[in-house]
Amino acid sequence: MTDTDLIAAAQVSKAWPFEEARKLIKRFPQGKPGGEAVVFETGYGPSGLPHIGTFQEVLRTTLVRRAYETLTDGAPTRLIAFSDDMDGLRKVPDNIENRAVLDANLHKPLTRIPDPFGTHESFAHHNNAMLRAFLDRFGFDYEFVSSSDMYSSGQFDDALKGVLGGWQAIMDIMLPTLRAERAATYSPVLPVSAKSGKVLQVPVTVVDAEAGIVRFEDDGDVVEQSILGGLAKLQWKVDWAMRWVALGIDYEMCGKDLTDSVRESGKIARALGGRPPEGMIYELFLDENGEKISKSKGNGLTIDQWLGYGSEESLGLFLYREPKSAKQLHAGIIPKTVDEYWQFREKLPSQPIEQQLGNPVWHLLRANGNTQGDGDKLPVTYGLLLNLVGVLGAQATREQVWSYLGNYVEDADPAAQPAVDALVTTALAYNRDFVAPSLHRRKPEPNEALALTALDEELAATSDDATAEELQTMVYEIGKDPHYGFETLRDWFRALYETLLGSPQGPRMGSFIALYGIANTRKLIAEALGPE
């Protein structure tokens, strides 16, 4: 495959990163003027710690960035991770222990509030450091930009003067979107009080747009003050638009909850003489009950929780898929997603280029600069491991699991199979927390008992080195025998899962028997057939 073949396939690929990237191609048919880099942006509010929403936005934006680079044969790009750390703290996060420090500094810019953790210059500096460590952990290529730095250093000063100069146009855009009470006091500019250090929500009058001077009331006093050099910040929608114009942002995606903000900020960007970026509005996550995930409710799933039960690659696959559709995010989806990732990865090298570009793994590998899909195949699935540790019980150990893998996996050594070893660790945790508490092995029905007896007799006559396929055929033949009265093979396999494994679902039984061992499987059958 040549680069020409790749670009030609990318130009017509229906994979969503390419569809998004083609918006930028349409915007810049001849490339960005002067050969400048196309600028991608993601935003982060550092009033709390980074979370799965932060990860998904940076990952998805990176996927579009890489798709654009593919389409343009390596045209320059940049990714800005922007921290809105000039915001005033409106509410103390629930997960902060030393709340008194924050309670005493409500409404001050986040970079001017002491760090309750006692490790950084400010609360925002602490959370910004967490963000950078978080993004570095996953190998993202980005440039960190602080809102406070941009305001305080004067780099936003010209843009702020533009806001004052376009004051009436901005008010005409915003006021119709506000309730009457809010509209009466609305101002695009939020001055920082020289008295209290707080970000003020007060009516503002423009005195001198070019000098950056405004007038407002602060605790009973009428004040004339510059908005330049960090002495003010902008309201959210105006701030977003100003940033797009000042930083030359060409692409930024956001969640469905910001749909109105995108529309109004886009209008403001045009009023400021700029152009809003291209972007995608993605759907939000739901919990297992179909309710919107809320940090305050705690009904979501954190990155650390996902990685405790699954893998970084599987999380990437979950986030890649159908970003414009609402998806349930809960622990129950992790095992299937882990196995599906490896299925996609195994297929990649043998697929023609058109199919590769529709394979999520092609995009995920490139997110961090890996352009080769090596077709790795794990010798055991996560689902099969879960069934094994489910039988072993909640107290199963890593060493126990590997002792069984020795009968099933060639070169069964954790050091030689790090991906499998990682899967073992997460399977043990998942089993302990979700599977073991819910397992219940029911007694077999009479016809099921007859079939289990037949299976036991067949296993007794079978060599220990029988392959998984041979064992699967054996199980299959018993289920198809009309003597045992199963209407479908599915009924037979459900009986095996429920009576031997204690679960309504399970693996290919041939693979399970090969992994668990014939003698151990016969013990399971004996327990199922035994007295109550």
Residues 388 and 495 in one domain: no
Residues 28 and 109 in one domain: yes
Q: How far is CA 415 from CA 69, 200, 335, 408, in A?
A: 36, 58, 23, 16
Would residue 221 count as lying in a domain? no
Would residue 155 count as lying in a domain? yes
In one letter, which amino acid is 428? L
Q: What is the pLDDT of residue 410?
A: 82
Q: Which of 514, 511, 510, 455 is nearest to 481 (CA)?
A: 455
Task: Name the CA dihedral angle for 114, 115, 121, 123, rounded to a multiple of 10 degrees.
Answer: -90
Residues 112 and 247 in one domain: yes
Residues 97 and 239 in one domain: yes
Q: What is the pLDDT of residue 93?
A: 77
Number of structural domains in the chain: 4
For all residues of the chain together, what is the average pLDDT?
A: 92
Residues 332 and 471 in one domain: no
Q: Indicate if the pLDDT at residue 1 is higher than 70.
A: no
Would residue 492 count as lying in a domain? yes
The CATH number of the domain where 119 resides is what? 3.40.50.620
Would residue 168 count as lying in a domain? yes
How far apart are the C-alpha atoms of 524 and 239, rounded to whole Å? 65
How far apart are the C-alpha atoms of 365 and 312, rounded to whole Å? 12
Mean pLDDT over 26-50 rounds to 88
pLDDT (tens digit per residue) in 9-25: 999 999 999 999 999 99
pLDDT (tens digit per residue) in 58-90: 999 999 999 999 999 999 999 999 999 999 988
Would residue 374 count as lying in a domain? no
Q: How far is CA 77 from CA 11, 241, 509, in A?
A: 18, 21, 50
Mean pLDDT over 348-366 rounds to 95
- Out of 438, 454, 481, a domain closes at 438
328 membership: H or E segment, kind and range? strand 327-328
Residues 122 and 154 in one domain: yes
How many residues belong to the chain? 532
pLDDT (tens digit per residue) in 103-140: 888 999 999 999 988 999 999 999 899 889 888 988 99
| Residue partners of 337: CB distance under 8 A and separation at least 6 | 310, 314, 315, 317, 318
Q: What is the pLDDT of residue 258?
A: 95
What domain range includes position 109?
3-177+235-282
Residues 300 and 344 in one domain: yes
- Out of 226, 256, 282, a domain closes at 282
Mean pLDDT over 179-203 rounds to 95
Mean pLDDT over 460-471 rounds to 94
Strands 221-226 and 38-44: unpaired
Mean pLDDT over 22-36 rounds to 92
Q: How far is CA 330 from the centre of its chain?
A: 12
pLDDT (tens digit per residue) in 314-324: 999 999 999 99
Q: What is the pLDDT of residue 418?
A: 92
- Out of 261, 282, 303, a domain closes at 282
Would residue 222 count as lying in a domain? no
Residues 263 and 295 in one domain: no
Question: Are 231 and 121 within 8 A, CB to CB?
Answer: no
Q: What is the pLDDT of residue 267?
A: 98
Residues 36 and 52 in one domain: yes
Residues 156 and 271 in one domain: yes
Q: What is the pLDDT of residue 54?
A: 85
Question: Are 36 and 102 within 8 A, CB to CB?
Answer: no
Residues 465 and 393 in one domain: no
How far apart are the C-alpha atoms of 236 and 314, rounded to whole Å? 34
Q: Which of 173, 120, 162, 364 is nearest to 272 (CA)?
A: 162
Minimum mean pLDDT among 43-47, 212-216, 434-438: which range?
43-47
Would residue 375 count as lying in a domain? no
pTM of the model: 0.90
Would residue 201 count as lying in a domain? no
Residues 243 and 355 in one domain: no
Considering only the C-alpha atoms of the chain, give the largest distance between any 2 of them, rounded to a whole number of Å: 96
pLDDT (tens digit per residue) in 130-146: 889 888 988 999 999 99
Q: What is the pLDDT of residue 438?
A: 85
Q: What is the pLDDT of residue 373?
A: 53
The CATH number of the domain where 521 resides is what? 1.10.10
Q: Which of 308, 241, 429, 423 is nearest to 52 (CA)?
A: 308
